[in-house]
Structure 1
Amino acid sequence: MSGESCVSGAEAETLASIQEVHVVEVPPTQGHTRASTSVDRRRSHSVQARKSIESRKTDRAPTVPQRSPKDRFRAAVRKVIAVHRTSSTILRGRVGAEPGVDPHRHSTFAAYRNIRQKCVIDVIDYSPVRCSSGRMTSSGFIQFLQNDQASDPEPWVKVRWINVGGISWDVVSALALKYDMHPLSVEDVLHHGGHALSKADYYPKHLFIRVLSHTLGSTNGTSQGPIPALSSSTPFPDVPRSASPQPLDEKLGILDPLADEFDIGRAAPIDPEMGRRTASLLAHRRRRVAAELTLDELKKEDRVNVHIKPMCIFLFRDGTVISFNSMPNLDLTEPIVARIRQQDTSLRRTADPSLLVQSLLDLTVDAALEVVDEYHARINALERAILIKSKVSIVRSLHILSGDLILHKRTLGPVKALIYALRHYDVDRAAASLDVPVADNQKVVGYMSHKAKIYLADVYDHIEYAMTSLDMYSAMAENLVNYSFNMASYEMNEVMRRLTMCTIVFLPLTLLTGYFGMNFENMWSIHHGHSDIVFWIIAIPIMSVVAPTFMWPDILRMYHQVKKRSLAQKITKRFKSE
């Protein structure tokens, strides 16, 4: 792909406002005695252009106030901001924006140059008989790629694995230019928001795979091992695919340095209405992100700490495999490196690049199985606690757990579809990605080898187990929530039942007590030689009639229960005697 400079009309006008074009006629040297007609024409045109520029300068206002160095600096800063906003306006948030990230374009470099991270890159070359590896930083790796003699693999190399830890524009662009990566795949590497799902894209020169890796963190909110949590220095724009990069990531606290230094409406905006809309949009996004952060903080103590990060893999026909990890370390892929260094492993014996891709997919699925096991342990603990004593706090934990399980089913489902497609549709999709039509008798070779597809069957079984386990745990969480509410309702019914029993027993006594407690002088039951025995003579018969009448269904239920128990005891004794 040849380099090109793509500058739109709006950028050209803004750049023209910053630069002043000076056309100077260069006199010929003594060695040039003859000049062609074309050269004379170019000189005449340059002279005319200089005269036209001078005439336009003379037409301007004759008196121009002399500005101080401070004013000139402010004007220069405002022009730079104008250029920045012009390019951002061209690229940002436009419906129908051109998809993909082409590193050949100057506008792409201006939009993504703020994505900087200290990367760690491993370059591993191996074959069945030899293996060599080296670790580099970003600057050293870029110099390595620029040296064709050093970067080209030696003849004995069958597979070259470039494992990049961290996402930085200088590294990504250098690899894209070196290996001619498709602009859509480069865009997927740079844009890795939470909405990004696992997929496999086939291009004429390479296969691109993006898979979401689920790694288990510790319970205190920090990840196990040296995998760091996201900090405010993470430079990735959280924008959807085919949208232009935005200099604001509110959730991570990243602001555009120019917008942070200068006010939007004060730094010579191109369109005031656009500035107001941008300010309103930023305020809305800040409120939305603040609500999301508050919700995450409320759920923090009751959820399983899982890190979901994308891993991007490029597979080329020449045996080169390039993988990108979003974190600036390579601890996740360390088991694969250890297997490559051992000569008796399948990776070394076969020296198959597609088998290396299968190993990376297997690594992500195995990490997901650890997450599934952690959810199994958590839901067993909650079930044990809820069977002992149902509490509202346990129901709250089950609600959060159920929501997280649904989210993990959404992120792990495309991984299952990805592995299935690599096994069954690799050749068909590779043929469809070719630039030239394929003849009927022409054989198309896919990216995945036969042995890699065999091992992918095992990976598919693992992801199938993970998905069915998540379905089961989600159903268990919902059942436990329903059980908790049913138990609460049952306990409330039991309380009301006891109160009803007390009311039935004491209602006749209360009625009689009210009667005998009335202050009348002529009461035959008291003044004619009767004592308090008369109260019980009246109360006992009334209670013996009222209580059985109201409790008759309960008495029948108790009778049938005793009858069933006696029948079960008789059958048990009969079998024991035989």
Structure 2
Amino acid sequence: MSAVRDFESRGRSTTDASLPVPLSPMSHDNPSLDRRGSTLSRRSTGNGSVHGSLRFRHPSRAQTVTAYHEPVGSEPVWQPGAEPGIDTSATDDQVPPEMLALKAHCDINIVDYSGDDVRHIRADNDSIAQVLAERRPDNLPTRWISVNGLSWDVIRVLGNKYNLHRLAIEDMVHTHSRTKVDWYADHACVIMTLQKLVRLHQCHKGHKANCDCSDAELDYWEGSRRRPFWHLSSKRRTDSELSYYLDKDGDGKVDEFVNAHSGTSANTPIKQVRTLHRYESEKIPEHTAFMEKHSTLASENLSVGVEQVAIFLLADNTVISFFEQSAEDVERPIRDRLQSTETILRRSCDASLLLEAIVDAIVDLAVPVKDAYNKARKELQVDALINPNIKTSRSLHIFGEEIDMLQNLFKPIVHLVNALRDHQSEPVGPVQVPHMPKIEVHEASSSKGDKTKRDREGESSYSRKVSDFRKPSYLKRSETANSVAISPLAHTYFGDVLDHCITIIQTLEQMDASATNISTLIFNTVGAKTNGFMMILAVVTVLFAPLTFISGYFGMNFASGSGLKHPFGFFWVVAIPSLVVFMLIVFATMLWSNIGDFFSKRGIRAHRNRRDAERRARG
């Protein structure tokens, strides 16, 4: 598989006219150049060596953007024409300031395992470099490094150790990247979103030891509980904690995170969680405030936590995963599987199967989210059937909006899994590029007989057989691996992940369609009630129309007339027959079609009864 270059030379550097055109538009990184195959320096300053006829980019070249100043603060501001990617080997003065400000405590778990043994090491920001400096045991061919938290010092150490591509580093630190997989020379980078159901944290003075809430927050919540009953709404929806945390630091912007339990139980640890609406529309405070206050799950003090996950699959049978907060939710079941020698994950010693296990765990975390919204949909459906009103219609609109956001986050995972499954073909050697040193390709076979058999059958020397995963003792880590692929075993189990994704998406689509149907039902019901009221008003109008006319005649202001000599009962003698005749004419006109339908139905019913009687008589 062709690797993705650092950047295209024709678009970012000046080339000699005598340089031949490469045979392929996508070429492999050259080991003689920069460690990521770049023909330019790390930050286009010209302090790195180039190869062949490729020229330096002059350090004093004209700047593309000169009217903008360097942003102050940790918030990333990307300028047009800036150098793509982030180089972890650059010095601090060459690194963007927002990267240096990216600091967090990281819980790092390193698991080395084989079919016979497993080793688990815990590390943090200070000890990760020392742990990685130790030699990896040869009898433990598979390594998993799981990082909980994003911190530049940890990213720099891992990026330099495993030569992670600068574009992948940029996608990882930008927490709103799209779900995708990128293939590089010796590793693959998977970017995806994790959605899970969390319970919002509510401060209690009696449980202050369980949280880090300030005294102001505790006083706020205690005061809200002591409010008079007339200040409380009949709906539990107003008790949501989200509205208070919209601008906790008072900077006029919606806070990116909110205090929430890592699970649906109040006993789970409290962490900083990014909610669904803050992930999608944090730049619009008014919209975020309204949507979170009236969220579908706010009445239960639940919310959907969203975070980005970056997973690196390396050619040396190593997997590196970066989580923002939820690493423990994914690590726990996988570590339990690795502790047992009977699991396929442990026996296979396959890094691509470990990648499948991580993706599968992330997908499974979305199942409670689906169930919670399905329950809310049924409650809204009952409200629409019993008492349809505009408030229920508004709740349905918010419900549909959140379902659409969940689909936008989850549907790309299907394309991600398909891309991983399509990459199961045997990896190929690097393409030879003119004026580039040749990369030696080492045979991956363990015996001369196997090599002869593959050559005779025309099989690639880098093919991986299912039998290799059933015999972990034959798996050897390659120190010079330069390609990565998905094994046939992982390809099979990725199909199960794909089934789970499709099931969740179908349920979300069904809920979205159901919300639309319920909204239509509400408007139809309200319209039918309005038509009924109008019909009653029309009947009353028709009833009093002749009486109004006759009363107007007898109530006219004149002194003579034969009608005035009759007694008062004469009015009713004239009014009642006129009213009856008028009503018969009006209702006969209105109900003429109904009368015709009634007789037609009677005729059809009589014909059916006669046909059934004849059938019984013959049988």
TM-score by length of 2: 0.64
- Give the corresponding residue for 2:467: none
Q: 1:566 to 1:341 in 2, by over 3 A?
A: farther
**Aligned to 1:532, which of 568, 580, 583?**
568
Tell me, in whole angstroms, the C-alpha distance in 2 between the residues paired with 1:87 and 1:220: 33
**Closer, same or farther in 2 for the Cα pair 1:161/1:218, shift >3 Å?**
same
Structure 2 distance, partners of 1:548, 1:86, is 83
Q: In the alignment, is residue 167 of structure 1 matched against residue 150 of structure 2?
A: yes
Residue of 255, 264, 275 corresponding to 1:252: 255
Asked if residue 485 in structure 1 is aligned to residue 523 in structure 2, the reply is: yes
Find the counterpart in structure 2 of residue 24 from structure 1.
none
Query: Partner amino acid for 1:99?
Result: P
1:16-415 residue pairs with structure 2 within 5 A? 85=70, 92-106=77-91, 107-108=94-95, 110-145=97-132, 148=133, 150=134, 152-193=135-176, 196-218=177-199, 250-252=253-255, 288-300=283-295, 305-327=303-325, 330-415=328-413
Are 2:550 and 1:552 aligned?
no
Q: Please tell me the residue identity of whatever aligns with 1:487.
A: T
AA of the residue aligned to 1:117: A
For the residue of structure 1 that corresponds to 2:195, the secondary structure is strand
Question: Which secondary structure does the structure 1 equivalent of 2:328 belong to?
Answer: coil
What is the aligned counterpart of 2:541 among 490, 493, 503? 503
Please report how far the alpha carbon of residue 182 of structure 1 lies from its aligned counterpart in structure 2 after TM superposition. 0.6
RMSD: 3.8
Shift of 1:175: 0.3
- Rg comparison, structure with higher value: 1
1:528-554 C-alpha deviation (Å, 9 max, x unpaired): xx2232222212232223222222244
CA distance in 1, matches of 2:313, 2:186: 9
CA gap of 1:154–1:253, structure 2 versus 1, over 3 A, is closer
Q: What secondary structure does 2:337 align onto?
A: helix
- AA in 2 matched with 1:531: P
| Distance in 1 (alpha carbons) for counterparts of 2:73 and 2:387 | 58
Alignment match of 1:473 (pick from 511, 518, 525): 511
Indicate the SS of the match to 1:331.
helix
Contact 2:175–2:308 (Cα < 8 Å) also in 1: yes
Matched residue SS, 1:381: helix
Kept after mapping to 1: 8 A contact 2:191/2:310: yes
| Structure 1 residues 568 and 129, CA gap change in structure 2 (3 angstroms) | farther
3-state SS, counterpart of residue 217 of structure 1: strand
**Tell me, what secondary structure is at the counterpart of 1:333?**
helix
Between the aligned partners of 1:568 and 1:156, the Cα distance in structure 2 is 85
How far apart in 2 are the matches of 1:538 and 1:363? Answer: 85
Q: Higher mean Cα deviation, 493-502 or 332-341? A: 332-341
> Are residues 1:516 and 2:554 paired?
yes
CA distance in 1, matches of 2:323, 2:487: 24
Identity among equivalent pairs (%): 27
Correspondence 1:460 to 2:498: yes
Q: Which residue of 2 aligns with 1:258?
A: none
Q: Mark the runs of 5 or more structure 2 residues left unpaired by the alignment.
A: 1-33, 46-68, 204-210, 215-250, 258-280, 434-438, 442-457, 464-483
Cα 1:166–1:572, aligned 2, differ >3 Å: closer, same or farther? farther
Deviations 1:24-68 (A, max 9, x none): xxxxxxxxxxxxxxxxxxxxxxxxxxxxxxxxxxxxxxxxxxxxx
More displaced stretch, 97-106 vs 170-179 = 97-106
CA contact (8 A) 2:35 2:163 kept: no
Give the Cα–Cα distance (whole angstroms) in 1 for the partners of residues 158 and 532 of structure 2.
Answer: 71
1:56 — aligned with what? none
**Per the alignment, do residues 297 and 467 of structure 1 end up closer, same or farther by CA in structure 2, a change over 3 Å counting?**
closer
Q: Which has the higher helix share?
A: 1
Amino acid at match of 1:123: I
Label 1:290 to 1:475 Cα distance change in 2 as closer, same or farther (>3 A).
Answer: same
Aligned to 1:40: none
- How far residue 207 of structure 1 moved from its aligned partner, in angstroms, is 1.0
Flag structure 1 segments of 5+ consecutive residues without an equivalent: 10-83, 223-227, 232-247, 255-285
Alignment partners' CA distance in 1, 2:610 and 2:198: 57
Letter of the 2:168 partner, please give it: S
C-alpha deviations, 1:437-496, integer Å up to 9, x for none?
799985555521101111111111111122222222111111211221122122111111
Structure-2 separation of matches of 1:552 and 1:219: 63
Paired residue for 2:579? 543
Question: Residues 7 and 466 of structure 1: is their aligned pair in 2 closer, same or farther, counting only changes over 3 Å?
Answer: closer
How big is the shift at 1:346?
1.5
C-alpha separation between the residues in 1 aligned to 2:563 and 2:71?
Answer: 105
CA displacement at 1:136 relative to structure 2 = 2.0
- 1:104 maps to a residue whose letter is S
With over 3 angstroms needed to count, the CA separation of the structure-2 counterparts of 1:364 and 1:249, relative to structure 1, is: farther
In 1: Cα distance, 2:159 partner to 2:609 partner: 79
Is residue 162–residue 322 contact of structure 1 (8 Å, CA) maintained in 2?
yes
3-state SS of paired residue (1:164): strand
Aligned amino acid, residue 196 of structure 2:
T
- Pick the aligned partner of 1:448 from 462, 486, 496: 486
Structure 1 residues 321 and 482, CA gap change in structure 2 (3 angstroms): same
Deviations 1:67-103 (A, max 9, x none): xxxxxxxxxxxxxxxxx949999x9532111111101
Task: State how far apart, in whole Å, the 2-side matches of 1:531 and 1:100 are.
Answer: 103
- Structure 1 residue identity aligned to 2:190: I
Instruction: Measure the CA separation in 2 of the matches of 1:553 and 1:343.
Output: 85
- Residue-pair matches, total: 442
Kindly tell me: are residues 549 and 333 of structure 1, through their superposed partners in 2, closer, same or farther at Cα, counting changes over 3 Å? Answer: farther
Deviation of the 1:298 alpha carbon: 4.0
